[in-house]
Structure 1
Amino acid sequence: MSPSHEPWYRHRPPPWPVPDNPYAPEGYGPPPRPPRRRWPVAAAALALLLLVGAGVYALGERHGSSRAGSNRAGPRNSAPPTTAPPTANARPTPKPSHIPTNEEIARQRGSGEASAWIVDDRTDLPRRTIPTEGLWIVGDTAVQAVYKKVVAHRLSDGAELWSVSLPTPVCETPVNPTPDGKIVIVLQNVEAWTGARCNQLRMIDLRTGKPGWHKELTETGTGDDTIIVDSAISGGTVAIVQSMKAAAYRVADGRKLYDIPMEAPGKCYPGRVAGGSRLLVVADCAITALEKAYDQVREIDPATGRVRWRYRTEPGRRIGQVLSVAPAVITTVHRESHADDWRVVALGPDGRARRTIDPRPKGFKHCDDSVNTSANAQACREAIVGGGLVLLGGADRVGAYDLVTGKLVWGVKSEGTSNGYVPLRVGPGRTGFVYELGTFGKAGRVFRAGPGGVETIKDMLRLPASTARVEFGMGVVGENAYVGERLVLTPAGLNGNDTQHEPRMLSFAP
């Protein structure tokens, strides 16, 4: 039976006209979201540069007329030429994008559209794409780390409340701060683009903007280099993986608490950590015999390091992403076929597999159809866990599975008029809040759906048409947060080239 005739697929007609989108051909969803940076490794940075920088440049070239008339500082080409016309091989200089102001957005707001504010940061950046790091909602502020500063904006209107300057660029940030709003950021040791180490720790209080302690990670040269690091916070503890070793530190003062050991000596190496209300450690095991290789995840007590439980995959399977730490819900993928063979595994309080779900028959892809087991273990915005459900999104569908029974509770599939569905939160009555991404010419929306599928859909936010182009750049490749009835979007990176400048944050509310 073809997917279009399966009972759960209830096609929803487009709620408003949709112009042609040449950047998302029929049958394709949004481009893969780049993994969150944990380094300064040139190859990964180049990939992000090509994805974000080149993509924005392509949009500017294709839609140059809609991006003209900017009053931004930077190169302009409005004056008539004073020299001979360019030759056939000359390349035109792109005009800077016009970023709408808050006043323009308010003035152009249509009936039924959400209110919005925008952060158009003009900080001078190197002429390359700089990945953004972290999006933390702390109290009534949205906080973000970019390049060499951490900035807080008021959720109600986007006003900047404070900023902290950093001596060197950011390498890595945990997904969650401590319950009292403190974060530990990993910085490069030098400004250099290549050859840097991610070994500088700095604590910042995100509620006040006050910086705290600073320390340097120790490297012995025995599997604990800091070219690649990963970090996570649980309670008052920050866990940091350096290459194949890991340790835990107290967030309050930076004091080392304990080492997170290898297990089955020489066979299981800590590779990634996941934080929040629990602390999980993902390890690569038996890596010298690939046919027998497997992955392990263990929950440890953040304060003492004591292991509470362990779960290991079957040989030949890897842990893809940690979708939730409480309850523990992970994805597993086949070591060779990767995203083509994936599952959702819900673990019980003792670490035993409680339910394994195969979402492939309903057409769901693994975290935007990508697998990156060297990046942030919690970077999968296509899945949200809560209320006994896992919500899965994708290029043209969204649905909810019961973590106890493994059955699909509800689902909605589009006719190709969307650029993707991102689950935001599980709501009451087994419902889900979903961000439907817009296209270059059509704004997105936030809706709620539940058991009953399309008949239950209710729009919560209809995003304004005046910010559709900016939203497209952030929504397809970026971060998002949904707090109360407010949606916050940030791009995956910022380009230091003025002609490819894009804003840093965009938020919507009723």
Structure 2
Amino acid sequence: MPQSHEPWYRHGPPPWPVPDNPYAPEGYGPPPPPPPRRRWPLAAAVLALLLLFGAGTYVLDALSRADRDRTDRAGAESGAPPTATPPTTSTRPAPSPSRIPTAAEIARQRRAGEASAWIVDDRTDLPRRHIPTQDLWIVGDTVVQAVYKRVVAHRLSDGTEVWSVDLPTPVCETPVNPTPDGKVVIVLQNVEAWTGTRCDQLRMIDLRTGKAGWHEQLADTDSGDDDTIIVDSAISGGTVAIVQSMKAAAYRVVDGRKLYDIPMENPGKCYPGRLAGGSRLLVLADCAIASYGKEYDQVREIDPVTGRVRWRHRTEPGRRIGQVLSVDPVVITTAHRETHAEDWRVVALGPDGGVRRTIDPRPKGLKHCGDSIDTSANAQQCREAVVGGGLVLLGGTDRVGAYDLDTGKLLWGVKDKGTSYGYYPLRVGPGRTGIVYQLGTNGRAGRVFRIGPGGVDTVKDVLRLPASTARAEFGTAVVGKNVYVGDRLVITPAGLNGDDNRREPRMLSFAP
């Protein structure tokens, strides 16, 4: 039986570590004290390291040291974040080239009960800087991704490269979803340069055939913005919508013909900033931005064919939209404009844009996607949440929980004792269960498990990832992207380092 002063979980035997069961039914006992802030792997700290050192080896080394520091928990929690000497003054010897294991080597070292795996060692020549990776697209039996100046498809079964398309300039932006028949429109830079670039080149790619299609240049918006530096895009049906310089328009994916300008409401007060696509097309806008304390965000559903506004929803004054967790049903996160991720909610909307349910996950220690709010980035990039079957699953550094979108009640949840670097929900399964990816550590492989009502007592492994890929998995996924198709997990880092001495896998995949 749990002690009266520990109402949130009972300690169970930890074979993996098995997650404990911290969550009692809603209303059972007082809320727990706020969890202590961790140095690792908060997204802000990791991304700062990425900017300082580039993705890959340095991040991996720093996190590995943090891993070892866990043996002295008190010291680790009270110490300051590690700093690094700039490369120009470092006395560290030059690193030797990283060696990436081959798929054949991984297969030979596979132990009984472990998942099969393949790995992509992409030897594309990259500039010696951090190169962001783009969205992962699943089309037929391939996984496709754009990186730098290439779009590459790999066969899901074994990772073999099926086709690639070379691009004239680097990729700026890709939509999260392709069209139903497997086409995307990507945004490229106009030139390859450090300064003076514009993200104004559109190119269609057929992801089923690997053929490049039409190419068009975005027209100037006459907004006074000389450079279209940041753009956002989304595809819904056969329409691609583009936001540039606080204006938005829609184009036909098949031939690039402009369909309409997305209507601007309250001109001078509301500006479109981000998009979300898929089965619906959503436009997110910043409003009343000059009215301190009264700023609000607006989300509209747009008919992708005609541009007609189907409904509108605006946040309360002083709150903004963080991420779109789902477009059908529409589920978003909101946060206070000043306290940011410290004051966040999950908001489920009804078919007319009205509030269906507001959920506050903070009493259970669940934090906003990556523990940050970034309204300049893609609105559909939240690895820590998935929606389906009337539930929203929320993950984090050391826990995962499921909330009912109708009642707002927590149905189940688990957490560990601080030995994990992340729980990433992948899918809602039958019987209100969830499929979750638990990232391992530098020396211990992760796993994919199923969990349902009943918490820890229902946990069952779906994939036990190979011990031989633990280091590669950790370096790839700790700041990365993932997709789950069938029973296969595919992970990729958020960025690559162009330094050949710090080479990393570009993709890693696991299946039964």
Match of 2:360 in 1: 358
Match of 1:321 in 2: 323
Q: Could you tell me how far apart the structure 2 residues matched to 1:505 and 1:469 are?
A: 13
Match of 1:255 in 2: 257
Contact 1:12 1:415 in 2 (8 A): no
Q: Could you tell me how far apart the structure 1 residues matched to 2:185 and 2:322 are?
A: 25
Could you say what secondary structure the match of 2:96 adopts? Answer: coil
Deviation at 1:243, TM superposition (A): 2.1
CA spacing shift, 1:58–1:311, aligned 2, 3 Å = same
Contact 2:221 2:245 in 1 (8 A): no
Contact 1:293 1:316 in 2 (8 A): yes
Contact 2:50 2:59 in 1 (8 A): no
- Counting only pairs closer than 5 Å after superposition, residues 278-297 of structure 1 correspond to structure 2 as 278-297=280-299
Match of 2:445 in 1: 443
Match of 1:245 in 2: 247
Could you say what secondary structure the match of 1:5 adopts? Answer: coil
Contact 1:14 1:417 in 2 (8 A): no
Match of 1:368 in 2: 370
CA spacing shift, 1:268–1:488, aligned 2, 3 Å = same
Q: Which of 38, 43, 60 in structure 2 is aligned with 1:32?
A: 43
Deviation at 1:261, TM superposition (A): 2.1
Q: Could you tell me how far apart the structure 1 residues matched to 2:327 and 2:374 are?
A: 19
Match of 1:142 in 2: 143
Match of 1:160 in 2: 161
- The amino acid that maps onto 2:408 is G
Contact 1:116 1:507 in 2 (8 A): yes
Q: Could you tell me how far apart the structure 1 residues matched to 2:38 and 2:328 are?
A: 35
Match of 1:462 in 2: 464
Deviation at 1:366, TM superposition (A): 0.5
Consecutive unaligned residues in structure 1, runs of 5 or more: 19-24, 36-43, 64-87
CA spacing shift, 1:157–1:89, aligned 2, 3 Å = closer
CA spacing shift, 1:89–1:102, aligned 2, 3 Å = closer
1:52 aligned onto 2:24: no
Could you say what secondary structure the match of 2:113 adopts? Answer: coil
Q: Which of 344, 347, 350 in structure 1 is aligned with 2:349?
A: 347
Q: Which of 388, 391, 414 in structure 2 is aligned with 1:389?
A: 391
Percent identity over the alignment is: 77
Contact 2:223 2:245 in 1 (8 A): no
TM-score normalised to structure 2 length? 0.88
- Counting only pairs closer than 5 Å after superposition, residues 106-255 of structure 1 correspond to structure 2 as 106-222=107-223, 225-255=227-257
- The amino acid that maps onto 1:449 is I
Contact 1:49 1:129 in 2 (8 A): no
Q: Could you tell me how far apart the structure 1 residues matched to 2:65 and 2:297 are?
A: 45
Contact 1:355 1:405 in 2 (8 A): yes
- Counting only pairs closer than 5 Å after superposition, residues 5-44 of structure 1 correspond to structure 2 as 5-7=6-8, 9-11=9-11, 13-16=13-16, 27-32=38-43
CA spacing shift, 1:411–1:194, aligned 2, 3 Å = same
CA spacing shift, 1:90–1:363, aligned 2, 3 Å = closer
Match of 1:490 in 2: 492
- Counting only pairs closer than 5 Å after superposition, residues 29-108 of structure 1 correspond to structure 2 as 29-32=40-43, 48=51, 50=53, 52-53=55-56, 55-56=58-59, 58=61, 90-108=91-109
Q: Could you tell me how far apart the structure 2 residues matched to 1:33 and 1:139 are?
A: 35
Q: Could you tell me how far apart the structure 2 residues matched to 1:153 and 1:462 are?
A: 23
- The amino acid that maps onto 2:98 is S
Q: Could you tell me how far apart the structure 2 residues matched to 1:466 and 1:211 are?
A: 38
CA spacing shift, 1:454–1:223, aligned 2, 3 Å = farther
Deviation at 1:295, TM superposition (A): 0.4
Q: Could you tell me how far apart the structure 2 residues matched to 1:89 and 1:249 are?
A: 50
TM-score normalised to structure 1 length? 0.88
CA spacing shift, 1:267–1:11, aligned 2, 3 Å = farther
CA spacing shift, 1:233–1:2, aligned 2, 3 Å = farther
Q: Could you tell me how far apart the structure 1 residues matched to 2:257 and 2:5 are?
A: 57
Consecutive unaligned residues in structure 2, runs of 5 or more: 19-35, 67-88
Contact 1:12 1:413 in 2 (8 A): no
Could you say what secondary structure the match of 1:281 adopts? Answer: strand
RMSD, aligned CA: 2.5
Could you say what secondary structure the match of 1:204 adopts? Answer: strand
Deviation at 1:355, TM superposition (A): 0.4
Q: Could you tell me how far apart the structure 2 residues matched to 1:310 and 1:2 are?
A: 48
- The amino acid that maps onto 2:219 is T
1:72-103 deviation per Cα after TM superposition (whole angstroms, max 9, x unaligned) = xxxxxxxxxxxxxxxx9843111111211011
Aligned residues: 471
1:23-77 deviation per Cα after TM superposition (whole angstroms, max 9, x unaligned) = xx99455241799xxxxxxxx99964646256347359979xxxxxxxxxxxxxx
Q: Could you tell me how far apart the structure 2 residues matched to 1:6 and 1:46 are?
A: 37
Q: Could you tell me how far apart the structure 1 residues matched to 2:311 and 2:250 are?
A: 18
